[in-house]
Structure 1
Amino acid sequence: YRIEVPVYSALPPVAEHLAMTTLGTFHERRGEQSLLSNTELSPAWGRIFGQDSKMAYSGTVSPSFDGTLFGLQAGFDLFGRETASGQTDRAGLFVAYASMNGDVRGQALGWDNLSVGSMDINGTSVGGYWTRIGQGGWYLDGVLMATFFGGDATSSRGIGIDVGGTGVTASLEGGYPIALGQGWTLEPQAQLVWQQLSLDDASDRFASVSFDTDGNVTGRLGARLQGETTINGMALQPYLKANIWHDFGGTSHVNFDTTDISTEGRSTSFEFGGGVIAKVTDKVSIFATGDYTTNLGGDERRILEGNLGFSVKW
């Protein structure tokens, strides 16, 4: 295969990863359940996030991506209420922008894992969310997000295509904190994410290029161990987190005229990290997380991630 084949074949799974990271988890976006507890106040929130990622994929030409991601996300609660049973509902909208750029390797010219080119893609996202916080602090969080992709993918000999298209991502997650005493809680969590990607047809000087992707499902099981402390009058909630992520492996197809190249992203990964929520004032909170992900089985995943966010009430 010519060297452009693995470059273009990496586009669908990398675009899905960009959208998945943009959506994130409830705690990456909002910090902690207690920041949503007062329905009389309307919080605005936001975060910046970044990754250093190395990801490999199975398939016809076994492409891999090694690069970085950076993104911004901001939202606003439009609706809040407290039910008769004491539960809190929040609903709102958000916008986000993220970009990924890095090098691609794959099977080409009779060689495995050959350096073949690079890609620089971005996604502008809009979404809506609904969150319920129950008595005792349990939560259920649903998100629906649309992403509009742009960018380019280019081989090492300068032949490439422009990237365009859309993606839809839906997530449902929940957690239930269990009090351990002395301010510590252990919160088991579960999340299910569905994605559908539609990339625009393109062409380079040798062939027409079209994309066809299956819907992809990713699941997460994990837990957070969180404590409480105070430093100089500021309330802090430090925590550790651990997650098992499983990508059920939707298949993407890239067609070069009549030649079909398939790629899969099936993997099981372990994520470990920690963070802290700081209540600066009654109305302003900031939160930060850091974590590292490595694959347990399937395709390679090596991801180092950082996240810094805020929540403001008035």
Structure 2
Amino acid sequence: MGRIGGGETKSSADRFNYDADTWFAQLGGDLYNKFAEDGTRVHSGVFATFGQVSTSAKDSARGIYKNRSTTTGKINSKGYGFGAYYTSYFSNDVYLDTVAQYTHYRNDYNSIYGSDATQNGDGITLSVEAGKPFKYTNGLYLEPQVQLMYQYLHLDATNDGIAYVKSTSDNSGLARIGGRLGYDSVKTSKAHPYLTANVLTNIGRSPDVTVSSVRMNQNYSDQWYELGGGFTGDITKNASLYADMKYQHDFEGNMHGFAGNLGVRVNW
């Protein structure tokens, strides 16, 4: 199984803002499969992920000066991770998907003032998702979904020669509720389009950072929604192509972005 994805996010919360472009590649596959007579099946395996985020940091206060850009610097973040998944499909069509992943991060900071810094970090992500499709005779189906995520993130201290940034360790959570509406016709089973809608909520306090003894915390919205669509298509008997695109917007109007995925799934 392999996939690539990417997206763009823009934030305009308070004084300090950013524009971020993200892309990632993931490769993995099943190591264990089990099929029962009642239709229950289990898929379990491992995967590896590489991703990169290119961020342009901005200070809106600089815009009050004529001919001065609001951009204050660039951040290039890379992540190298590996993980495992365990997915169960039950005879009543309910599915339960659990994922665990470890990621090592490297952040390179480049300021417009000429000061540079490098920061390393490590993170652990756990996710549990459940859903159930309700199928109708005309090929339409409605699939409610719920997901809970937990993340631990540690970032080392760093110093760009001007300011000292203290190391941080944060625990955070994310809850998602939503679903998708799709079409899955037996007669035209080559392509399976669908639409998605979700509401997401951060759980826990917003992370902060201490720069030269000054603690900073940005006022981002804790809730946002996303709307999107996608499709899966059969390439061969054992291979399928899938793609999706989502638009994201917070309820306070300070952040919005796009995210997309493109991948190939192969069953051996």
Q: Is residue 125–residue 151 contact of structure 2 (8 Å, CA) maintained in 1?
A: yes
| 1:136 to 1:236, Cα distance in 2 relative to 1, 3 A | farther
Query: 1:250·1:265 contact (CA, 8 Å) conserved in 2?
Result: no
Per the alignment, do residues 106 and 221 of structure 1 end up closer, same or farther by CA in structure 2, a change over 3 Å counting? Answer: same
- Choose which of 133, 141, 161 in structure 1 pairs with 2:117: 161
1:186 aligned to 132, 142, 146, which one? 142
- Whether the 8 Å CA contact 1:136–1:177 is kept in 2: the answer is no
Instruction: Supply the AA of the counterpart residue of 1:162.
Output: T
Residue identity matched to 1:93: V
Aligned counterparts of 2:171 and 2:132: Cα–Cα separation in 1: 29
State the distance in 2 between where 1:313 and 1:120 align.
Answer: 35
Q: Superposed, which structure 2 residues align to 1:43-192 within 5 Å?
A: 45-56=1-12, 62-83=15-36, 85-106=38-59, 114-192=70-148
Q: Give the structure 2 partner of residue 306 of structure 1.
A: 260
Instruction: Name structure 1 gaps, 5 residues minimum.
Output: 1-44
Cα RMSD over matched residues? Answer: 2.4
- What TM-score, normalized to structure 2? 0.90
Question: Which ranges in structure 2 are unaligned for 5 or more consecutive residues?
Answer: none
Query: Map of 1:33-52 to 2, 5 A cutoff?
Result: 45-52=1-8
Q: State the shift of 1:208 in Å.
A: 2.3
> Once the 2 structures are TM-superposed, how far is the Cα of residue 136 of structure 1 from its aligned partner?
4.0
Letter in 1 for 2:39: G
Given that residues 139 and 174 in structure 1 are in contact (C-alpha distance below 8 angstroms), is that contact kept between their aligned partners in structure 2? Answer: yes
Alpha-carbon contact 1:213-1:253 (below 8 Å) kept = no
Q: After the TM superposition, which residues 205-216 of structure 1 pair with which residues of structure 2 at under 5 Å, given as runs?
A: 205-216=161-172
Match among 175, 184, 205 for residue 228 of structure 1: 184
Q: What is the identity, as a one-letter code, of the residue corresponding to 1:76?
A: G
Change (3 A) 1:306 1:125: same
Change (3 A) 1:127 1:199: same
Q: CA deviation at 1:223?
A: 1.2
Secondary structure at the counterpart of residue 217 of structure 2: strand
Instruction: Identify the residue that residue 277 of structure 1 maps to in structure 2.
Output: 232
Deviations 1:142-199 (A, max 9, x none): 1111111113112221213112110111111111101122111100001111111101
8 Å Cα contact 1:213-1:250 kept in structure 2: no
1:75/1:264 CA distance change after superposition, 3 Å:
farther
Q: Which of the two has greater helix per residue?
A: 1
SS of the residue 1:252 aligns to: coil
CA–CA separation in structure 2 for the residues paired with 1:57 and 1:161: 25
Amino acid at match of 1:279: D
Whole-angstrom distance in 1 between the partners of 2:120 and 2:97? 30
- The residue type paired with residue 245 of structure 1 is L
Aligned equivalents of 2:186, 2:42: Cα separation in 1: 28
Q: Which amino acid aligns with 1:210?
A: K
Q: Answer whether contact 2:221 2:251 (CA < 8 A) is retained.
A: no
1:259 aligns with 2:214: yes
Distance 2:126 2:63 in 1: 39
Identify which of 200, 208, 217 aligns with 1:245: 200
Aligned: 1:287 with 2:242: yes
Give a deviation string over 1:260-287, Cα, whole Å, max 9, x none: 2234544211111111111122111111
User: Is the 8 Å Cα contact of residues 139 and 186 (structure 2) preserved in structure 1?
Assistant: no
TM-score, normalised by the number of residues in structure 1: 0.77
Question: Percent identical across equivalent pairs?
Answer: 28
CA contact (8 A) 1:131 1:139 kept: yes
Corresponding pairs, count: 265
Work out the CA distance in 2 between the residues paired with 1:128 and 1:310.
Answer: 18
Moved over 4 A (4+): 107-114
